[in-house]
Structure 1
């Protein structure tokens, strides 16, 4: 049975960063086992021991489209919440609803095992995104039912330094949870692998550049 339809949202998606929010840059130290904060607290790491970036500010001001707020993005993926309105994503016996960029060259197996940072969606928000999202307007979109979304990677800041010295960011990278290198990343976004995918519809690219406010 499908979850109750979420109310159609107005404005930018819930997961999008607003002008009043910012990614913080606390001091990071390198140890023999990875990176840590100088003042690390119990909520800085997840159950796998990965260190997560801190955010500050309030969700006020204009949206920074294309930039997902890390804690909200991770919560939406973990709890299968709609990225648009924060309500439970639409779910049936065939899986959870997902809206992603289309890939006409993806092959017969696409999008099975596709890695994505996009959280799921409800039907009303999927319809809004198909109509207004400039990114999906350029790529086209695919609406899916997904049976499983398994955490696979993190996207974040890879660090290096002399042990005991302040660590410095070397680059932004995607790192598999299974790799030891993940201990040296301050993670910003969660990445999941989509499994058991059924394509419901594909929407071709459009040229409309109108965005909801």
Structure 2
């Protein structure tokens, strides 16, 4: 029986760029919680909207933690619609941007996707070349199977992170998601951006003809001769 070597030898596959490495640590410096929200004592990491994010220390050394995303690279990939593996532009066609998602089990706890309502996700998109890498390296996609779709609508709608309720004493942080326009985001240290996906078109990423024309999203641009 023949097998696809790229799926049998994960050590030969590129590590997704958004994966955190064992040599890195996500750190939230000591917080000050005041009437204007939460702030770090010392240097801060805020996005262009003023949202507070944690800090990532250390180098990409050791082993990749495939189940854990680097929050700062996840944010960049979601903001700019970059491939989560190569951090180059995600594949975009007339049908939209390419996403690789966990296959739902169809159970009450994991129902089929309601595309009319829209699917919220913290998974960044993918380029066609690296799509199979995403399907293999992500633990959820590998165990549950995947759904590959081009998505026409992918609106940024929320942030996930640690929320610090203002009236609780002592302060008891809560893991939650908040709409981007919620005033309560000032009381959150975010670590994920959330997009709502609608208008999907399925795609078969195992199609050899389709994959034949795919190139790495992060390959250097070729110099043009004059």
- Bin the TM-score by the shorter chain: 0.7 to 0.9
| Count of residues in correspondence between the two structures | 191
Q: Deviations over 1:67-107 (max 9, x none)?
A: 00011111111111110112211111211111001225355
Say if 1:169 and 1:10 are closer, same or farther in 2 by CA, change over 3 A. farther
Aligned residue in 2 for 1:190:
193
Where relative contact order (Cα < 8 A, 6+ residues apart) is larger, the structure is: 1
- The residue correspondences of 1:95-106 to structure 2 (distance < 5 A) are 95-103=96-104, 105=106, 106=111
Aligned residue in 1 for 2:83:
82
CA distance in 1, matches of 2:205, 2:115: 13
Say if 1:186 and 1:139 are closer, same or farther in 2 by CA, change over 3 A. same
Could you tell me which of 30, 36, 39 is aligned with 1:33? 36
Residue 115 of structure 1 pairs with residue 120 of structure 2? yes
Other structure's SS at 2:129 match: helix
Are the aligned partners of 1:112 and 1:196 in contact in 2 as well (CA < 8 Å)? no
Structure 1 unaligned spans of 5+: 1-8, 204-213
TM norm structure 2: 0.75
User: Hey, which of these two has a bigger chunk of strand by percent?
Assistant: 1
Other structure's SS at 1:172 match: strand
Task: Give how far 1:169 is off.
Answer: 5.5
CA distance in 2, matches of 1:136, 1:70: 19
Residue 150 of structure 1 pairs with residue 155 of structure 2? yes
- The two structures, once aligned, show a CA RMSD in angstroms of 2.7
